[in-house]
Amino acid sequence: MTSAIVQSEPTISVFTTFDPSYTLSKLPRLVTRYTAPAECRERWVLPNPAEQTPIVFSTNPPPRANGDILYTSCMPQSHVGWFSPGVCPDAYTIASASVVQWSASGRLEQEWDALCCQSGMTFKEYACVSTFSTPLRAFVPFTPGISGTTTDVPSAVYQYLSYWNVGSLESTTTLTNITVLNTGVAQADPIYVAWRAKDLSLFPVSYATSVAQQFGIAFTPGPTPGGSLNLPQETGSLAAGLSTGAKAGIGVGAVLGFAILVGVAFLCLYIRLRRRRRAGGDDGLDKTSERDRS
């Protein structure tokens, strides 16, 4: 949705306020970077094609017409509003931020609130804004003017789904009016995220590290979820780290152990031979003496 947008690094000024009555709200979590599906990328609407400098929008609702029917479904978790703890979606960056502080149990607590804009856009007043100078597709409002449909036809739309009933079968047709612009201004709603310092451990390491550096938050990356722990590795062989006394003890123990094993084996063999001789009886002895006589 941003390939035509002129890339520029936004300058962020962070404002801090103290609110003694501030309380944390229960909001949807967004701790992984959301990637919008293909049909949601490069999705802009052009409410006034006659303007000398075209302005395209990705807002809810957009100016004029009845809005983009896919706007909400293109948002993370189909949610329009704040995420906490939350991270900016993929291809978005933090364009504006503030810190709210409050006191709880005698301690100073704080939360970072940020507005995420598509990469290359800056936040001005109430929206993410940028210019574009390469071809960009935009939906232009139109009146479907279709009769015989099962739903009411609005006066003007950016995209319209027409449902037809043919017997017991239902057919759907998507109607659009798309134009291509070479230059203009793009304006989009931001995505709102909030987090506390302890929430950084829930985020992707690279993202959390970047945010910590950007806002001066103390953060030490830990093991990633599902990954292996960064345990200290042994260097060299086991014997290399043993003292002389320990090595001598191991040597003596090995000799004694070997001697015991040999003694046990000899004892077992001796008992087995005695049992075999007893099982053979006197006949065996007589036959041996007869062979000796002859």
pLDDT of residue 71: 86
pLDDT of residue 206: 94
Secondary structure percentages of the chain, helix, strand, coil, to 5? 25, 30, 45
Residue 183 CB: number of other CB atoms within 10 A? 13
pLDDT digits (tens, 9 = 90+) for 118-159: 999 999 988 999 999 999 999 998 887 655 444 555 567 788
pLDDT digits (tens, 9 = 90+) for 202-255: 999 999 999 999 999 999 887 654 333 333 332 333 344 444 554 444 454 555
- What gap in Å lies between CA 252 and CA 243, rounded to an integer? 15
pLDDT of residue 39: 84
3-class secondary structure, 222:
coil
**Model confidence at 274: pLDDT above 90:** no
pLDDT digits (tens, 9 = 90+) for 162-174: 777 777 777 777 8
**CB of 175 within 8 A of CB of 69?**
no
pLDDT of residue 148: 46
pLDDT of residue 157: 79
Element (H, E) at 209: helix 205-215
**CB of 178 within 8 A of CB of 140?**
yes
Tell how many helices (H) and how many strands (E) occur in the chain: 2, 13
Calculate the average pLDDT of the chain.
75
More confident residue, 57 or 168: 57
What DSSP character marks residue 32? S
More confident residue, 280 or 27: 27
